[in-house]
Every structure is written in structure tokens, then in C-alpha cells.
Structure 1
Amino acid sequence: MSAPVQPAYGLVCMTLGPELRFRTITLKRYRSLDISERYAALLDLYASNTAKLTEAAAYCTARGIRLFRMSAALYPMLDLLDDPTGTAVLDELAPALLAAGQAFKAAGIRVLIHPDQYIVLNSDRPEVRASSLHQFLTHADVLDRLGFERSPYHCMILHGGKGGRGDVLAAVIRDLPDTARLRLALENDEHIYSPAELLPVCQATNTPLVFDAHHHVVHDKLLDQEDPSVREWVLRARQTWTPPSLQVVHLSNGIEGPQDRRHSHLIADLPSAYFDVPWIEVEAKGKEEAVLALMDGVVGRGL
């Protein structure tokens, strides 16, 4: 067994405390505004969230956090097919977005994004596929505006979508524009796509696989995350990353045991199979409390 590495534990989207909180607006409220009011409302909201995103770089730097998942909800209404207001607002805020991206790059912090679960690129409904593609491309556009490179270093993580349609998913991926295709990563889930079902898609399209041990345990009804198959999938997923040092996995525990899909507040069980994984996103209700506890070695690595 190789020597353990010190992984970069990732903070997901916001803090439990008040430091990193982002604003939003409901579709109902937005639709109630007239055109001029919509622009002003989004300009204020987008500017606030972009400034807070810049603060996230400083927050992570101060605590030694080197991985950050950016919220996919920073710019609400940007994906409306019948309203280009959000895009126009981002055009006005272009310098601020570039500055936010530069703050992360200057600090050496890797930024990822996990778009909405309702994005189903391989739906059997054409209108859903079209809407999903549009939404996905808006997230890619934001990463471009932040100045992030088009590579898995700044990956956009999706689940497999509609079950039994891996071939359709692969075909859609091949046709994606570079802004999305070069950043795409796929993640196994609890109910539909196991890592075994996603791996052929990843291999056929040169798409990295983000392995989630908790999802794997729930999907396959395993005893816990120490099942030998967890290590097998860490290694098989690693082969899909170029270079392997970019591999990302997800870490979470169930509230009431390994089969509970709900995320616990802190991480009590860190699978030994993750001992040499370089980048670990921490999906815990405790947010920064869970990340900082792991960084402080409060949770053993099962070695």
C-alpha cells in the first residue's frame, strides 16, 4: 500500500455560518417585474453574488481549503429560454466575474460545479433534452466568464440521467461544444446509474468518473464503505482522469447508517479506500465544520 496523501478536502457551495451566503429570486417574483425592473433586480443580485464568490476565495485561502464547489444557483434566471436579461447582466458584470475567477486562480484553489439534478441530457423527451442542454451550457458559459480553463480541473459534474440510455448519453456528450464537453464529469448515483453502468460511457467519451462511495453503498446495498469494491472503484475511476492526479471523489455518510441516503452533519466514517485520493469533496450538512475537522485529522483515515 502506498503512503497516504494529504488530500484537498472541498467545501460545497456555502458555509454553515453566515460567511458565504448567496442571494436568489423566485421565478414567480421575477415574472411579476417589468422588463426594466428585471434588469435592475438581476444586476443587484448578480453583483452581490459575484462579490460573495470573490469572498469565497479569501475565505478558503484563510483556512487552507484548496477545493471549492461553486453553487449552480449563483445566477438565477440565466437559463430562461424566453428572456435574455440574465446574459445581458453578466455582460455588464464581465470585469467582476473575471476578477472573481482570478482570485481563485491566484490562491491556487480548484473550483468545480455540480449543476442541477434535473438536467437530463439523455431524456427520452426531446423538449427535456433541449432544455437540459441549454441549462448545462449556461453553466459552462459562467465558467468561461470566470476565466477558468476548459478542462476537468474545473469540472462540471452530472449524474447519468435517464436509466437505460447510456448510449444516448454518450452520443450527446460527443456532440457537446468544447466549453461543456472538455469540462464534463459523470457521477454515479444511489438509484439509477452505478459506477459499472457509467464507466462504459466515460471510456467511450473520455469523460472522467467522479466516484461516490456513499451512493455506491446505497445502490448496491453494501454493508458499509469498507466493502472491497469501494477500493476497486476508486482505482477504476482514477483511470478515467487525465492526469490521474486530478481525480475527484465525493465523501458523505448517512445520518442513521450506511444505507441512509441523507447526509450527516460531520464525517464519522472516512473509507480507507480513499487513502490516496488527491481531491475529496465533502458533502456534509456541517459544511465548513466537517471540512475543517477532516483537515485537522479529527476523523481517522481507517489505515
Structure 2
Amino acid sequence: MRLGFAVKVLGDGGLPSHDTRRWQSEPSLDVSLDRLEAILRYCAAYEIDMYRMPTGLAPYASHPELPQFRDAPQVFAERLAEVGALARELDVRLSSHPGQYTVLNSEDERVRRLAVEELEVQAELMDAMGLGPEAVVVLHVGGGAGGRDAALDRLEDGFARCSEAARARLVIENDDRTFALTDVLELHRRIGRPVVWDILHHHCHDPDRIPDREALALALATWPDGVTPKIHYSSPKTALEEKDKKLVLPQLRAHADMIDPIGFEHFLTETAAGLPDFDIMLEAKGKDLALLRLRDQLTARGVALTS
């Protein structure tokens, strides 16, 4: 079982994830790839074998008003191949997760078109890196306007607008407010793409009251033979915050800085026991530090991540 973290490296003083300069400064995919290479070597040094790349790895490549950046995956194809070869050599599983503005099922035709373009860019990057089918682009269903069926219909339509290469990378995740596991399983039946199960989202939004073990098994079964499934795991935030001299209670859906090791141990030894192998992307604000701390805590408790 691989454990991964997303985007930011906080350990060893921190590492930049990509070229974040504004477009006027001509940010470059080449700079981003230098930074990705440094992160891959950091992962290897700490025996971390899964990493979520920043969506903006190729700066502005999907921006509709800055077409001068669109050909970055082609311009830097050779460098992408080199970094992809390094990821394979180090056996680091890579993925990406476009954010809230990539809405493939939007009612707005322009927003849907931009979402398709973003998915095309992500697929071009992964293909140029020579990454296998385990390198996926995770997406939420999107907006719920018009009701569940209409929203799923729009996602299916948006998916059909993507190229074969982009469709081959896409996987769908349940969310914490609108589209539960049963909804993304329905999408799997329609478009044939795997489901990434997010356990915290499931605990926040599960109108069908599906037990965790059953939910996990259902999601894992959507992945094709020969491709290791992945899920998302996080612990809910429990710490109080003070804003404007007032205490603010955390929302259940908010991610904690670290992963609760006791809850995670229970998940491994009870919920996941006996099910097919899968990888876990940890979604904690502590990023790589949360992963390393969890791994140390599991070792101290005698819990193995491999069978």
C-alpha cells in the first residue's frame, strides 16, 4: 500500500511545487519540471511513493485568453519524458486533482468547455511523461443544478466531449455535499471510469447509509484489473480557531493538520482487511509531514502497511 500527499512539500524547509509566477513574467513548464524533479528526489529520500502534482504544473496552459502557453506540453515534451522516466525509476505514483473551477457538468457552456480543456492539458502532461494507467486525474461531479439526474447527464455529456486520452485518465470522486458514493457509482456504470472513494466525504454525505467496508469494496471494484485503485483519506478537523476574538467551531468536512493514527489503524485492520490492495492519498494540511508522522506512529503501534 502506497501513502501519498498533495502538492506542497513542508519538510526540509519546504520545496516549491511549480512555477507560480504571473503570466507577465512568462512562467514556464520547464521550471515546474525542475521543481517536480526535486520533489520526486525528496520523496525517494523519505521513501514516499505517491504524490499529487499541482494542477498548474504547466502554467496557464488551459487559460482561454493566454494561448501562448497552450503548447507547453509539446514544447517541453523531451523534458516531460525525462521527469516521467525518473518517476517510474523511483516508483512514485503520480496524479492530479483539478480544483473547484474545473466543472465538467456546468450548465454554462463556456465553463464546461474550459473544463474539457483543463482535462486535455492534464492528460497531455501525463502522456508525455510516459505514465501508466495508475496516473489519474481526479474530478468531482460538479454542480447539482436541475437535480441529480440532470447533473449526471451533463457530466456524461462533458465526458463525451473529451478526447480518448483525457477520458482514459479521468476518475470521479464522491463529494461532501451533493454527490454521494451511489451517484459516482452510477457515473461509473455510464462512462466506465473508476471511482475514487473519499472516506471523510462519505462520512459527511451518505444518504444511503452505506457502511465503510461495503463502500470501500464497491469503489475498489470499479477499477480495472492490473490498475491499483486509490482512495482519499483524511481526519476531520477538531481544533478550535479564534477569529475576531471569537472561538469558531470546525466544520466536520474540514481536514485536520494530521491523520488520527488510531482511526487510521482501525481503518486498515477492520475496514480494509481482506479487500484488494489499494493506495491512499492522505489529504492533511500537514502534507508530507503528516504522512511521515503517521507512518512513524503506525510503526510504533506495530501496524504494517504491507501484507
Scaled by the length of structure 2, the TM-score of the pair is 0.82
2:20 is matched with: 24
In 2, the alpha carbon distance for the partners of 1:274 and 1:175 equals: 36
Out of 19, 38, 41, the position equivalent to 1:58 is 41
Q: Are the structure 2 counterparts of residues 244 and 238 from structure 1 closer, same or farther at C-alpha, using a change threshold of 3 Å?
A: farther
In 2, the alpha carbon distance for the partners of 1:210 and 1:216 equals: 11
In 1, the alpha carbon distance for the partners of 2:73 and 2:118 equals: 15
1:246 is matched with: 228
Deviation, 1:286, is 1.0
Deviation, 1:89, is 4.3
- Residue 139 of structure 1 aligns with an amino acid whose one-letter code is Q
1:264 is matched with: 256
> 1:251 touches 1:282 (CA, 8 Å); kept in 2?
yes
Out of 199, 214, 237, the position equivalent to 1:232 is 214
- Residue 289 of structure 1 aligns with an amino acid whose one-letter code is L
Q: Helix, strand or coil: the match of 1:249? A: strand
2:191 is matched with: 205
Out of 3, 6, 9, the position equivalent to 1:12 is 6
Question: Residue deviations 1:262-289, cap 9 Å, x none?
Answer: 1111111213423455200000011112
- Residue 141 of structure 2 aligns with an amino acid whose one-letter code is G
Moved more, 290-299 or 56-65: 290-299
Q: Helix, strand or coil: the match of 2:98? A: coil
Out of 22, 27, 50, the position equivalent to 1:42 is 27
- Residue 185 of structure 1 aligns with an amino acid whose one-letter code is V
Q: Equivalences for 1:104-119 in 2 at 5 Å?
A: 104-119=87-102
> 2:172 touches 2:195 (CA, 8 Å); kept in 1?
yes
- Segments of structure 1 that go 5 or more residues without pairing to the other structure are 1-6
In 2, the alpha carbon distance for the partners of 1:172 and 1:86 equals: 24
Q: Helix, strand or coil: the match of 2:258? A: coil
- Segments of structure 2 that go 5 or more residues without pairing to the other structure are 240-249
Q: Equivalences for 1:106-255 in 2 at 5 Å?
A: 106-149=89-132, 151=133, 153-163=134-144, 164=148, 165-220=151-206, 229-243=211-225, 246-255=228-237
Question: Residue deviations 1:61-108, cap 9 Å, x none?
Answer: 122211111111222211122322213444443222211111101111
Question: Residue deviations 1:203-226, cap 9 Å, x none?
Answer: 22111000011001111389xxxx
Deviation, 1:138, is 1.4
Q: Helix, strand or coil: the match of 1:285? A: coil
